Chain A
Amino acid sequence: MSAASTPSPVDGATTPTPLLLEARGVVKHFPIRTSNGKKIVQAVDGISLQVRAGETLGLVGESGCGKSTLGRCLVRLIDVTEGQVIFDGTDITTMSRRELRSRRTGFQMIFQDPYASLNPRRRALATVEEPMRTHDMGTEQEIRDRAMHLLEIVGFDPSYADRYPHEFSGGQRQRLGIARALAVTPRLLIADEPVSALDVSIQAQVLNLLADLQRDQALTYVFIAHDLAVVHHIADRIGVMYLGELVEVGDSSPVYNHPAHPYTEALLSSIPVIDDEVEKRDRIVLQGDLPSPIDKPPGCAFAPRCRYSQAICISDKPVLQLIGDGREVACHFPLVAAATTTLAV
């Protein structure tokens, strides 16, 4: 994003930190067979984004918006249909499997379901040791010591090292997943809905742990979630996705406090707020569901549900455009007007 050149209103940093991850026009299409012949699911449809070292980029959107597919493309768990993913200066989309394997130590993933992402027959310690052995990261003793250290970092007592996944609660499993991801000293963690399967009190523990780890180990995160409040809490920048595309990208606070895209506004308005005063707020309740990513409408994908939509929205597709405060919005009628733009610059 060109956001980098403008001073960020959040941290006010003037020296831009180097780019760690960049996606250029990433497209992921899945061919499917339907009763009407072959069709294509346009899961991710031309996404470009940049993640600077040490920052957290939050990706938010409803189910089916392609955020998880994008996350998987970013670490090449699945191959992209088109586009490039550049990690630390190298394009990982064209790498050979072998090359990719050695590069994988740089980026790791944390998954949503801590029950499904751990081998039930492997003890906690062995689970964390495994990736270090795969990548040949030292002697057996070194690997063991580091694994024990990692278990401690994520908050386990040493006595937990010999336990199997079923002996852990959901939150503990998620922490084990985090320890495993950290084993190969990655610089980038892609976390796909890491807290949405957890109880509220446990969610907060895991979010705190992720924040501590980022501070202590200089990690970079791509944090994927459907909960805008959680994303706002953890992310420095937010990318809002709708039907396989980014509709708004910018620094966390402005996006959250003054959304520019009508979809972001609606998402925000949907969050149930703890409020003892408000009886009935003026809430924007979106009508209808997410359209199918198979036959996308020609204009703005959000237009059918948008309360500001006009003729141009149905016919012409808006592209991501900079609106001044380092924010990019794909909308013909962004809610943050040009006046705010000049103020911010």
Chain B
Amino acid sequence: MSESTAAQPLLDVRDLRVSFRTRSGTVDAVDGISFTVGRGEVLGIVGESGSGKSVSMLSVLGLIDNPNCVVEGEVIFQGEDLLKLDDKELRRIRGKEIAMVFQDPMTALTPVYTAGWHISEQIRAHEKVSKKAAHARAVQLLDAVGIPNATDRVNSYPHEFSGGMRQRVVIAMALSCNPSLLIADEPTTALDVTIQAQILELLRDLQSEFGSSIVLITHDMGVVSQMSDRVLVMYGGRLAEAGPRRALMRDPLHPYTWGLMGSIPPTDGTRVERLAAIPGAPINPSDPDRDRCLFSSRCGFASDACRPQPGLVEHVHGHLDACVLPYDQRPALRLEALTTVTTESGASA
């Protein structure tokens, strides 16, 4: 299903399962997802809160230290299964080969250390270089991510930066060891739109310059559409739909994807009376009734056929989804979904 030209994908996730044992039973936060990330590819993962998009990537990096969490499956990165590595071996990869950028740039930085310290620390953890050389690299990196006057700013503390600048520092940190994979978890959600545009442009430029692969986790269809080569849509810890960006944006197949797109006010200047909202709330991952299409409780086309859970089917090259609706009727059904919600009034509880 990978579109990349390289024979072997950089990251190959197979049947990843992340479950948490709780007092009221086991909760499957990620329920058997498989995907690949090609070399130099930007993969967008979209979903609402609780869809498992963040947890899946955290577990890939072994960053969930909750003792009640069980991670199963295979995560093959450059030929190695990351889930089989111990902490020491993982640390060799984390930060160096795979780096992560988090949503909140304030909590990702230690307030008592300077920007330069953060970056040199990272470099010196992975490479044998002198403090001076690491510091010089830090200045270069800050300059590369567009921080003006980097020679002085390298000695600034996190609170002395604005939100957007802080996120740039975090990105500089992530890029410090020239990782082959960058995982960005909602990197722009905490930022203003104008700053979001700056950061997205920066990520795009850096990607084409360094050739890293990026996994971009977001809830924003617009961000995904502008950044990714391929898109995964997640719902309730499973893949609802996956495909090349263009195909997925032009002909979304899954009713959940229709709903996500219909929920956003049109940006082309037209105005609609009502948005094609999805009724109900995102599924609670602890809902025990899981042998079904998890979206069926909010779907206008749900029927008995939605049980048991439909598997992922590839319809056109690389474009797959998990829905029982007949493939050739999807465009008509999508139109129907848009119009019924528009005329219906009142919100559902």
State whether A154 touches B347 (Cβ < 8 A).
yes
State whether B193 touches A62 (Cβ < 8 A).
yes
Determine the chain B residues whose CB is within 8 A of the CB of A63 once the complex forms: 192
Whether, in the assembled complex, A160 has its beta carbon less than 8 Å from a beta carbon of chain B, the answer is yes
Residues 149-193 (chain A) with a chain B CB within 8 angstroms: 154-157, 160, 169, 171-172, 175
Q: Beyond A204-B275, A266-B194, A274-B222, list 10 extra A-B contacts (CB 8 Å).
A: A204-B263, A204-B264, A205-B277, A205-B278, A226-B193, A229-B265, A267-B193, A270-B193, A286-B197, A286-B198
B349 contact from A155, A202, A226, A273, Cβ within 8 A: A155
Determine the chain A residues whose CB is within 8 A of the CB of B246 once the complex forms: 276-277
- How does the 8 Å CB contact mask read for B318-349 relative to A, with 1 for contact and 0 for none? 00000000000000000000000000011111
State whether A276 touches B250 (Cβ < 8 A).
yes
Determine the chain B residues whose CB is within 8 A of the CB of A309 once the complex forms: none
Determine the chain B residues whose CB is within 8 A of the CB of A201 once the complex forms: 48, 259-260, 263, 277-278, 282
A274 contact from B48, B164, B192, B225, Cβ within 8 A: B225
B279 contact from A203, A205, A257, A267, Cβ within 8 A: A205
State whether A202 touches B271 (Cβ < 8 A).
no
Footprint of B on A, CB under 8 Å?
A: 62-63, 154-157, 160, 169, 171-172, 175, 199-209, 211-212, 226-230, 232-234, 252-253, 256-257, 266-267, 269-277, 283, 285-287, 289-290
Residues 256-278 (chain B) with a chain A CB within 8 angstroms: 259-269, 271-278
Determine the chain B residues whose CB is within 8 A of the CB of A253 once the complex forms: 269, 271
State whether A270 touches B196 (Cβ < 8 A).
yes
State whether A286 touches B347 (Cβ < 8 A).
no
Given contacts A204-B275, A205-B277, A276-B250, contact A233 B194 (CB under 8 A): no
A200 contact from B195, B260, B267, B349, Cβ within 8 A: B260
Determine the chain B residues whose CB is within 8 A of the CB of A269 once the complex forms: 197
Determine the chain A residues whose CB is within 8 A of the CB of B271 once the complex forms: 232-233, 252-253
Whether, in the assembled complex, B8 has its beta carbon less than 8 Å from a beta carbon of chain A, the answer is no
Chain B, interface size: which category? 35 or more
State whether A273 touches B269 (Cβ < 8 A).
no
- How does the 8 Å CB contact mask read for B168-203 relative to A, with 1 for contact and 0 for none? 000000000000000000000000111111101100
A156 contact from B193, B265, B273, B349, Cβ within 8 A: B349
State whether A160 touches B219 (Cβ < 8 A).
no
Whether, in the assembled complex, B106 has its beta carbon less than 8 Å from a beta carbon of chain A, the answer is no
Q: Which residue of A lies closest to B148 (CB)?
A: A288
Determine the chain A residues whose CB is within 8 A of the CB of B221 once the complex forms: 200, 274
State how many angstroms separate the Cβ of A324 from the closest Cβ of chain B: 20
Query: When A and B form their complex, which 10 residue pairs have the shortest distance between CB atoms, in order from nearest?
Result: A272-B222, A233-B265, A204-B277, A155-B347, A204-B263, A276-B249, A201-B278, A270-B197, A204-B275, A276-B250
State how many angstroms separate the Cβ of B255 from the closest Cβ of chain A: 12
State whether B263 touches A203 (Cβ < 8 A).
yes
Determine the chain A residues whose CB is within 8 A of the CB of B275 once the complex forms: 204, 207-208, 233
Q: Which residue of B lies closest to A228 (CB)?
A: B193
Whether, in the assembled complex, B281 has its beta carbon less than 8 Å from a beta carbon of chain A, the answer is yes
A208 contact from B194, B198, B267, B347, Cβ within 8 A: B347
Cα–Cα distance between A257 and B271 once the two chains are bound (Å): 11
State whether B48 touches A172 (Cβ < 8 A).
no
Determine the chain A residues whose CB is within 8 A of the CB of B264 once the complex forms: 200, 204, 229, 274
Given contacts A154-B347, A286-B198, contact A199 B267 (CB under 8 A): no
Cα–Cα distance between A266 and B194 once the two chains are bound (Å): 7
State whether A209 touches B347 (Cβ < 8 A).
yes
Whether, in the assembled complex, B30 has its beta carbon less than 8 Å from a beta carbon of chain A, the answer is no
State how many angstroms separate the Cβ of B63 from the closest Cβ of chain A: 23
- How does the 8 Å CB contact mask read for B131-166 relative to A, with 1 for contact and 0 for none? 000000000000000000000000000000010110
Given contacts A156-B349, A204-B262, contact A257 B269 (CB under 8 A): yes
Given contacts A272-B226, A276-B250, contact A62 B194 (CB under 8 A): yes
Cα–Cα distance between A265 and B245 once the two chains are bound (Å): 27
State whether B249 touches A271 (Cβ < 8 A).
no
Determine the chain B residues whose CB is within 8 A of the CB of A270 once the complex forms: 193-194, 196-197
Determine the chain A residues whose CB is within 8 A of the CB of B195 once the complex forms: 62, 289
State whether A230 touches B269 (Cβ < 8 A).
no
Cα–Cα distance between A234 and B162 once the two chains are bound (Å): 30
State whether B281 touches A172 (Cβ < 8 A).
yes
Determine the chain B residues whose CB is within 8 A of the CB of A202 once the complex forms: 281-282
Q: Which residue of B lies closest to A62 (CB)?
A: B192
Cα–Cα distance between A238 and B110 once the two chains are bound (Å): 40
Cα–Cα distance between A289 and B196 once the two chains are bound (Å): 11
State how many angstroms separate the Cβ of A165 from the closest Cβ of chain B: 15
Determine the chain A residues whose CB is within 8 A of the CB of B282 once the complex forms: 199, 201-202
Determine the chain A residues whose CB is within 8 A of the CB of B276 once the complex forms: 204
Q: List 21 A-B contacts (CB under 8 A).
A: A62-B193, A62-B194, A63-B192, A169-B281, A172-B281, A200-B220, A201-B48, A202-B281, A202-B282, A204-B262, A204-B276, A207-B277, A208-B277, A211-B274, A226-B192, A269-B197, A271-B222, A272-B220, A276-B249, A283-B201, A285-B197
Determine the chain B residues whose CB is within 8 A of the CB of A211 once the complex forms: 273-274
Cα–Cα distance between A80 and B194 once the two chains are bound (Å): 29
- How does the 8 Å CB contact mask read for B36-57 relative to A, with 1 for contact and 0 for none? 0000000000001100000000
Whether, in the assembled complex, B10 has its beta carbon less than 8 Å from a beta carbon of chain A, the answer is no
Cα–Cα distance between A270 and B164 once the two chains are bound (Å): 14
Determine the chain A residues whose CB is within 8 A of the CB of B249 once the complex forms: 274-276
Cα–Cα distance between A333 and B345 once the two chains are bound (Å): 44
Q: Which of A62, A227, A252, A272 has the most CB of B within 10 A?
A: A272
Cα–Cα distance between A63 and B191 once the two chains are bound (Å): 9
Whether, in the assembled complex, B234 has its beta carbon less than 8 Å from a beta carbon of chain A, the answer is no
Q: Which residue of B lies closest to A234 (CB)?
A: B265
Whether, in the assembled complex, B239 has its beta carbon less than 8 Å from a beta carbon of chain A, the answer is no
Q: Which residue of B lies closest to A153 (CB)?
A: B346
Determine the chain B residues whose CB is within 8 A of the CB of A172 once the complex forms: 281, 349
Q: Which residue of B lies closest to A273 (CB)?
A: B267
State whether A274 touches B198 (Cβ < 8 A).
no
Determine the chain B residues whose CB is within 8 A of the CB of A207 once the complex forms: 265, 275, 277
Q: Which residue of A lies closest to B201 (CB)?
A: A285
